[in-house]
Amino acid sequence: MTQWKILCDFDGTVSVEDITDSLLERFGRPGWQAIEQAWKRGEIGSRECMERQIALLDASREELDAHLDGMAIDRAFPAFAAAVRDAGMPMAVVSDGLDYAIRRILGAYDLADLPIVANRLEAVGERGWRLDFPYGNANCRSGNCKCSCAGRAHAERQRVLVIGDGASDFCVAGEADLVFAKHRLIEHCRAAGIPYVPITSFVDALDLLPTLIAGELAAHGSDMPLAASLQAA
């Protein structure tokens, strides 16, 4: 049986809050809200939005760390990650957010060993910050091209399960074999005809895992169990 590769979003999916928004609300200099509105209007992509917003952060590393240490994740995610590891399924956190923030938060839950594919946060002086985009793509407006991650998994003959919640997951959802969808991603998958299963938390994802592994999971947008629909494709 072809192995599943799980690509899991972080902000609003693993984390309870959007971490970047939380940092900007706490440490952002004036102007970051206007940049956010330009992104929402479609005038700029998320890469430009994030790059300009992060340049407005005014915080020492100690202040940043203290804030991140107060961020919570979905209470069932550690159990889900353990179950995935025990099943021998590779999983990566694939985010258009901040690698440093993700790594510190996951480290507090003994999950520092999870692969992280995200934008690189770098310090500038004592209180400034900038973003680098090691996983960007010239043809993608996002800082992190999640579709490239899905493409690499498919090239290795793996099935791709995407777990996500919002706009940064819309594109990669179309490249996935299945989506565990939260919030806005549910409506997107429904409208686009993408096979998905709605979840509200990782409690649901954990409950679904044995059925997924057995090939008996029936997704919305598919009239047959997932294993049969993949064989028919």
Going 80 to 82 to 88 to 94, the CA torsion angle's sign is positive
pLDDT in tens, 145-198: 999 999 999 999 999 999 999 999 999 999 999 999 999 999 999 999 999 999
User: What mean pLDDT comes out for the span 8-35?
Assistant: 97
Is residue 186 a contact partner of residue 204, using CB atoms and an 8 Å limit? no
Better pLDDT: 225 or 69 = 69
Q: What pLDDT does 218 receive?
A: 85
Query: Residue 139: pLDDT band by 50, 70, 90 thresholds?
Result: confident
Better pLDDT: 230 or 102 = 102
**pLDDT of 124 over the 90 cut:** yes
pLDDT in tens, 209-224: 999 999 899 888 654 4
**pLDDT of 225 over the 50 cut:** no
pTM, to two decimals:
0.92
Return the percentage of the chain with pLDDT > 70, whole number.
94
First-last CA distance in the chain: 15
- Name the 3-class secondary structure at 2: coil
Which of 226, 180, 231, 225 minimizes the C-alpha distance to 202? 180
User: What mean pLDDT comes out for the span 130-134?
Assistant: 96
Residue 44: φ, ψ to 5°: -135, 160
User: What mean pLDDT comes out for the span 74-93?
Assistant: 97
Is residue 144 a contact partner of residue 95, using CB atoms and an 8 Å limit? yes
